Amino acid sequence: MTLGILGGGQLGRMSALAAIRMGIDVRFLTPPASGGGTPGPVAPFANVTLADWTDPAVLKAWASGCDAITVESEWAPAQECADAAPDVPVRPHPKTLRLIRHKGRQNDALRDAGLPLPRYANCATPEAAHEAARAFGLPVVAKKYEGSYDGYGNATCRTPEELEQAWADLASGDGMLVEAFVPFEGEVSALVARREGGETAVYPIIASEHREHQLWAAHVPAGLAPEAEARAREVAGDAIAAVGGVGLLAVEMFWMRDGSVLVNEIAPRPHNTGHLTIEACGGSQFENHVRAALDLPLADPSLRVPAACMVNVVGTREGPLAPDYAAALAVSDAAVHLYGKADSRPRRKLGHVTATGETPEAAREVAERAVAALGL
């Protein structure tokens, strides 16, 4: 059995490792520019084709050896691949990826399905954006319809002047999204694996911490009351069903003081917060990414440890990567994952460390020690 993955970064790398363990072959298609002409992080683990992935002939030839195809990013040419090789299923479906890519259409689909969301408005003009801000009250959050991630493409606007600047920076031909600012208690996520027939596995809720709008750490349990956790998992499963999600997808949510959750956005792929599932859960997000893409029975997403914490390894300087392996690996109970990137730059995700323990706090202390020991 062979799985094709459009992409070639760390998410593909960890998916390939999960597939290899199950005896599943993996083939990657990635454009040369994404790795500077080299196969990048996935090279040691799979067959990699470096070619123009918008070329129908390339897509057809590459896909012909695959039983199913999935994506590492919502920006991969899934529809072009489906058109070039119509007999090979692409999961998540291209129509789901198109829907999720556009934050306005994504919100509309979730709203129409009755999912809880922050108040929002799809604004086609600067005047509409200011009208939404008056209706919601300042501050508001302005978001690019497409291409925002890790804090890029978003702006919190506290004054009309800041909203005007956000329009200049973020609006596209069809405008931008304006949301009411949510005074949330915390940010959480839920990973959802879903097969074609509807079989679904929802992972435990994961709490996340961001620094400078970039994920820094994630832990389980998330600290929600049992009934709040159950409701959040239900919302996540319903959100993925609402967009026709098949594969492994993530639902980012705001956790409110009263225990309720609001859906922030969906990522149609393995998620940074879910990296801790490798050590913490019966089947990792990457294993279920592979299983769902190939329409195979899903692995158990339940926790197998009392608690776990993942801390990202993020670049702080420019230059070649020179991790202190000995120091990091001397930290007991820390699982060090580096992604095979040759060079560092500020804010670049280079790896992560996961630790398990009796409490999230205890696990975090171990993970942070190992991250610091790497010296990156």
The structure's pTM equals: 0.94
Number of structural domains in the chain: 3
Residue where a domain terminates, one of 156, 180, 204: 180
Rounded Cα gap, residues 101 and 106, in angstroms: 7
Binding site listing for ATP: 103, 143, 179-182, 187, 210, 264-265
- Alpha helices of the chain — where are they, by DSSP H? 10-21, 56-63, 78-84, 94-101, 103-112, 126-136, 160-170, 226-242, 277-280, 285-293, 325-329, 360-374
Same structural domain, 172 and 148: yes
Rounded Cα gap, residues 26 and 70, in angstroms: 11
The 8-class DSSP code of residue 88 comes to S
Binding site listing: 103, 143, 179-182, 187, 210, 264-265
pLDDT at 39: 63
Residue 308 domain-assigned (yes or no) = yes
Same structural domain, 225 and 361: yes
Same structural domain, 73 and 212: no
Same structural domain, 218 and 337: yes
- Whether the CB-CB separation of 107 and 145 falls below 8 Å is answered with no
Give average pLDDT by consecutive 10-residue segment, the chain, 376 residues: 95 96 96 63 84 96 97 94 98 97 97 98 98 98 88 91 98 97 96 97 97 93 96 98 98 95 97 98 98 98 98 94 96 96 92 98 98 96
Rounded Cα gap, residues 240 and 282, in angstroms: 21
Same structural domain, 31 and 144: no
pLDDT at 37: 52
Same structural domain, 132 and 211: no
Q: Which two tokens stand for residue 3?
A: 């799985």
Same structural domain, 8 and 84: yes
- Cβ neighbour number for residue 19 with a 10 Å cutoff: 25
Rounded Cα gap, residues 20 and 41, in angstroms: 15
Q: Write out the residue range of the structural domain in which residue 233 sits.
A: 186-374
- Whether the CB-CB separation of 259 and 224 falls below 8 Å is answered with yes
Cα-trace Rg, the chain = 20
Residue 101 domain-assigned (yes or no) = no
pLDDT at 46: 80
- The enclosing domain of 71 has a CATH number of 3.40.50.20
Rounded Cα gap, residues 44 and 214, in angstroms: 28
pLDDT at 256: 95
- Whether the CB-CB separation of 263 and 232 falls below 8 Å is answered with no
Half-sphere exposure of 23 (CA within 13 A, CB side): 1
- The enclosing domain of 335 has a CATH number of 3.30.470.20
Residue 370 domain-assigned (yes or no) = yes
Same structural domain, 174 and 192: no
- 226-242 and 103-112 helices, crossing angle to 10°: 110
> The dihedral of CA 175, 271, 345, 13: what is its sign?
negative
State pLDDT tens for residues 152-193.
899 999 999 999 999 999 999 999 999 999 999 999 999 999
Residue 96 domain-assigned (yes or no) = no
Residue 113 domain-assigned (yes or no) = no
CA distances from 80 to 52, 60, 63, 158, 242 (A): 12, 10, 11, 41, 24
Rounded Cα gap, residues 67 and 81, in angstroms: 13
Residue 211 domain-assigned (yes or no) = yes
- Whether the CB-CB separation of 222 and 281 falls below 8 Å is answered with no
pLDDT at 86: 97
- The enclosing domain of 123 has a CATH number of 3.30.1490.20
pLDDT at 125: 98
Same structural domain, 265 and 190: yes
- Tell me which residue of 204, 280, 290, 277 sits closest to 247, measured CA to CA: 290
Q: Which two tokens stand for residue 331?
A: 């930290």
Residue written as tokens 């998330």?
222
Same structural domain, 282 and 361: yes
Same structural domain, 295 and 215: yes
| E strand or H helix at 334 | strand 334-338
Rounded Cα gap, residues 9 and 34, in angstroms: 9
For 144-294, list the strands marked E by DSSP: 154-157, 176-180, 186-194, 200-202, 206-211, 214-220, 247-255, 261-267
Residue 279 domain-assigned (yes or no) = yes
Residue 111 domain-assigned (yes or no) = no
Same structural domain, 237 and 318: yes
- Cβ neighbour number for residue 159 with a 10 Å cutoff: 11
Rounded Cα gap, residues 262 and 360, in angstroms: 24
Burial of 150 (0-12, 13-18, 19+ CB in 10 A): middle
Residue where a domain terminates, one of 134, 149, 180: 180
State pLDDT tens for residues 235-290.
999 999 999 999 999 999 999 999 999 999 999 999 999 999 999 999 999 999 99
Rounded Cα gap, residues 288 and 296, in angstroms: 9
- Whether the CB-CB separation of 250 and 101 falls below 8 Å is answered with no
